[in-house]
Amino acid sequence: MHPRNPTRPIFVGDSRTGIIQIGGGIALDHPLASGLTTPHPIAPVSVQTMTAGYTHTIDQCVAEVHKLTSAGADIVRVAVPEKKDTEALKEILAQTTVPIVADVHFHFKRALEAIEAGVHKIRLNPGNITDRAQVEQVIDACKERSIPIRVGVNEGSIIERKDKQARAKELGAIFGNNKHGYMMAIMIAKLEEYLDIFYERDFYDIAISAKSMDAALVIDAYTEISKRFAHPLHLGVTHAGPKETGCIRSVVALGTLLANGIGDTIRISYANDPIYEVEDGLELLYTLGKRERIGAELIACPTCGRIQVDLFTLVQEVNDKLVEDITVPMKVAVMGCVVNGPGEAEGADVAVFAGDRKGIIYVQGEKVATVSEDDILDRLLDECKSFQSKVLNGEVKLGEKKVDIVPPDPLGELGSGWEKMAASRMGHTPLTIEGE
Ligand code: SF4
């Protein structure tokens, strides 16, 4: 895992919403550190999403922002394609508790109206506002109010879109030999061109995005951009598709970049409820160790021919309940049997090992109950809640004791026949599983 790239930080939000820092770590003598007087250590990677509903339907928009905030979104973006959307912003900002970004395309006046309404950040693709003076007006208005701007050179917005012949010609040149090479060259050239407009006006509170629907291009483009520009990077695979495939595209691209120290804020985008973008974005960061986990981490076996309970249903129910009830980052394991379970659940604070319509529940290595399949869910959750209380009271520490299973006797306390199961899997390996 590479250390994060240092960048000039930007700050999004106000005293009411709290301020989210994006990026950081730039040396004060760096040319881009103009105006910074104190060092800002690199901030944790933040998670963004965007509302799916209309911004001008204020109540629905506020409800959606609240839902996304509760799911863990650090920043929420809203589209402002029409004046009625920017007119709604003031009321939305008053009723929400998370920094709001106005998503502006084509109409610079929407940006000015959003700034006037008090929005916390502007997303602007200078490529689709053709009049430079209009872009300059937006920059000056943001500078006056210390509002940062995300400059996008996303694949879809840097190619001429109004003139089909020009687009075809440009695409021909781009894809002629090396798709990624040409596209990256255009992205970087456009970025340099756009950033010059900002720098000329002494404006540096900038984040950069260079999204594409092609995950490999996203990796290549952001990698090149991170070498050239010390601004925070907003990562994303745009138009990633439905959640099922979009998740893989996004996680491959964003996970690769983040593991290489590239990226300061992320948005996973799905053709689905944006709450999944937040959940999956957070899980990606937890998995990479880029954010401190909030809530339980569920370990579950994939099941196999040894399974003797309805584990898929149990895992889903446990997952849903843990999200509702558990806030401390305890590890919870739901395993289908005791053959592989103990090893795979190593480090779990609370674990259940299922057998023939039964489950044995362990808390930090100590067996606390053997219950019927029907009672596994409730008892496991009771144990998780009780363990959480002890953690919060300082009576126990997370991960302090490992799961230490002494298997049932050969008849099988679980009724699944330990000796038979172990022999079928491990041949002549001795039956005893030693704990850590
Ligand atoms: S824990 Fe048991 S049931 Fe689950 S996959 Fe492993 S061997 Fe199969």
Closest C-alpha to ligand 1, atom 2: 337
The packing angle between helices 132-145 and 179-200, to 10°, is: 60
Dihedral angle, C-alpha 100, 104, 109, 112, nearest 10 °: 30
307 touches ligand 1 (CB under 6 Å): yes
Ligand 1 centroid to 396 CA: how many Å? Answer: 29
- Give CA–CA dist 331/254, Å, rounded: 25
Closest C-alpha to ligand 1, atom 8: 304
Phi and psi, residue 335, nearest 5°? -115, 145
Ligand 1 centroid to 281 CA: how many Å? Answer: 28
- Its pTM stands at 0.85
Ligand 1 centroid to 414 CA: how many Å? Answer: 14
Ligand 1 centroid to 342 CA: how many Å? Answer: 10
Residues 6+ apart with CB under 8 A from 182: 173, 174, 175, 176
Q: Which of 108-117, 282-291, 323-332, 423-432 has the lowest mean pLDDT?
A: 423-432
How would residue 406 be classed by pLDDT, with cut points 50, 70 and 90? low
- Give CA–CA dist 62/84, Å, rounded: 15
Pairing verdict, β 149-152 and 121-124: parallel
Ligand 1 centroid to 303 CA: how many Å? Answer: 5
Closest C-alpha to ligand 1, atom 6: 340
Ligand 1 centroid to 283 CA: how many Å? Answer: 24
335 touches ligand 1 (CB under 6 Å): yes
Smallest CA-to-CA distance from 79 within 65, 98, 69, 96 is with 65
Do 349 and 331 contact (CB within 8 A), yes or no?
Answer: yes
The two structure tokens encoding residue 113? 């109206």
Ligand 1 centroid to 339 CA: how many Å? Answer: 7
Do 318 and 301 contact (CB within 8 A), yes or no?
Answer: no
How would residue 426 be classed by pLDDT, with cut points 50, 70 and 90? very low
- In the predicted model, what is the mean pLDDT of residues 278-304? 93
Closest C-alpha to ligand 1, atom 3: 336
Q: Convert 130-145 to b/e letters by CB count within 10 Å (16 or more is b).
A: eeeebbbbbbebbbee
Nearest-atom number in ligand 1 for the CA of 335 is: 1
- In the predicted model, what is the mean pLDDT of residues 403-417? 49
Give 169-209 pLDDT, tens digit per residue.
654 555 455 567 777 777 888 888 889 999 999 999 999 99
Give 353-405 pLDDT, tens digit per residue.
888 788 989 898 888 999 999 999 999 999 999 999 999 999 999 987 765 55
Give 5-63 pLDDT, tens digit per residue.
999 999 999 999 999 999 999 999 999 998 899 999 999 999 999 999 999 999 999 99
Smallest CA-to-CA distance from 382 within 315, 332, 342 is with 332
Q: What is the pLDDT of residue 405?
A: 54
Do 47 and 254 contact (CB within 8 A), yes or no?
Answer: no
Smallest CA-to-CA distance from 119 within 13, 227, 20, 212 is with 13
422 touches ligand 1 (CB under 6 Å): no
- In the predicted model, what is the mean pLDDT of residues 331-352? 80
